[in-house]
Amino acid sequence: MVDVELLARRLVEIVGPAHVIRDPEQLATFERDWTGRFVGVASLVVRPGSTAEVAQVVRTCAELGAPIVPQGGNTGLVGGSVPRSGEVVLHLGRLHELSDVDERSRQLSAGAGVTIAEVQERARQVGLDYPVDLASRDSATVGGTIATNAGGMYVGRYGPTRAQVVGLEAVLADGSVISRMSGLIKDNSGYDLISLFVGSEGTLAVVTRARLRLVPSLPARAVALLGLPSLERAVELVAVLHRTLPTLLAAEVFFHEGLELVCRHRGVRPPFDRPARCYLLLECGGQEDPAPGLAEAVADVVPEEWALLGSTPIERSRLWTYRESHTEAINAEGVPHKLDVTLPLAALPAFEQEVRDRLRRRVPGARPILFGHVGDGNLHVNVLGCDPADERVEEAVLTLVAEHGGSISAEHGIGVAKARWLHLTRSAADIAAMRAIKRALDPQGILNPGVLFPPEHP
């Protein structure tokens, strides 16, 4: 049993009274994820202002046996950044230092609490860009996106967060600090702890700072929205366009039912006179205007009435709104089950059809709304109309993913939402190896308990 009074006193000595929160009303915002599906109770929130303070906080929690849930922008979607039952929420928002861009290496250093939009803005000042981009860019933080190995729209071109992290500073469960911030691209001295910590969902270490790789910015952009008869056609087209359209940056997909929600929620008109079954959004980028190349490629593959092209910023943003507003439009309808899955591209169209059938048969009332990053084989299966606690939804969707040789998490992580189903796409040997790493680095199990691994039965 943790002595919370003693813990609070000790933490106040480290970070000062203003940064230890115990007032229930103030705690509430840290205790609930933004979908409203995951809500728990924190013993307190602590907001350290430096890596040294994070280290002291973690050491103190370890001494007093207090489990910790690290939290950044709290934009996670699998319940991994909210407390479950009385943990300390270690909020990293005050780690807000952002370096200038080192133009020789095309890198910068950012504290865990810096947002993705802030990193992008700093990079763009010198003609570079940070290629992890997602709709929650104004709230999602460097620390949180590293913890989850966030993906976003441009993974096909630049890789996920892991591919951008060239240095990391992290606090281990005993309060010791690992700092590999030199940004060396080539460094084969032993285990790659940086890659291990990226995507470890706060279970192995608390990320406090990162060295990030930047890419040349591609200021000239063009977007096309196509109406298609099926996901199968979208997958075929993307395969062709990857060969014929070297400027292709993003290939996103959504369906009729999601578009209807978005139009209602945002008060916008549908893109075409008639509804299509499936919509494919393409974005191209370059130093020179990619619009003529995109228009030509699109004209070769779809009839004119099913293609819209956006080249000005206003037109592009109008077309992106149909895709990017899915998350908020779904949330406005109720609390969704959010299942982020990835499939081999060959299996994606069959999965899309079967998942709707399976949900209809196994979970009466389930209302599936699908969208995602088709270029990566990544679908977001959102399900409305069911109790948030009804795990038949997870069971139906995730077992189907496993039957098709996919993964139960593409870019959101496992969190608490999918821990029970990890065995579906990771073997017993895999899970045992991951547990061995967890035990070695966090023998007391104080870092984000309940996340990633199902509870061990004696």
Q: Which residues are near ligand MLT by CB under 6 A?
A: 134-135, 327, 340, 380
Instruction: Report how far residue 245's alpha carbon sits from residue 345's, in angstroms, rounded to the nearest whole number.
Output: 19
Per DSSP, the three-state class of 85 is: coil
Residue closer to ligand MLT, measured from CB, 106 or 412: 412
Which run of H or of E encompasses 256?
helix 256-266
Q: How far is the CB of 165 from ligand MLT (least distance, A)?
A: 19
* CB 106 within 8 Å of CB 82: no
CA distances from 323 to 224, 265, 308 (A): 12, 13, 14
What is the smallest separation between the CB atom of 282 and ligand MLT, expressed in angstroms? 16
Nearer to ligand MLT, 122 or 323 (CB): 323
The backbone torsions φ and ψ at residue 285, rounded to the nearest 5 degrees and listed phi first, read -145, 150
213 or 380: whose CB is closer to ligand MLT? 380
At position 326, the amino acid (one-letter code) is H
Provide, rounded to whole angstroms, the least separation between the CB of residue 75 and ligand MLT: 9
Return the residue nearest ligand MLT (CB atom).
Answer: 327
The smaller minimum CB distance to ligand MLT, of residues 61 and 253, is found at 253
Alpha-carbon distances of 278 from 212, 243, 256, 257, rounded to whole Å: 36, 22, 6, 9
* Cβ 134 to ligand MLT shortest distance, Å: 6
- Asked if residues 82 and 30 have their Cβ atoms less than 8 Å apart, the reply is yes
Kindly state the smallest distance separating residue 329's Cβ from ligand MLT, in Å: 10
User: Closest approach of Cβ 265 to ligand MLT, in Å?
Assistant: 14
List CB contacts of 305: < 8 A, sequence separation 6 or more: 272, 273
**What residues contact 92, with CB distance under 8 A and at least 6 apart?**
48, 54, 70, 71, 72, 111, 112, 113, 141, 143, 206, 207, 208
Shorter beta-carbon distance to ligand MLT: residue 4 or 134? 134
Nearer to ligand MLT, 135 or 193 (CB): 135
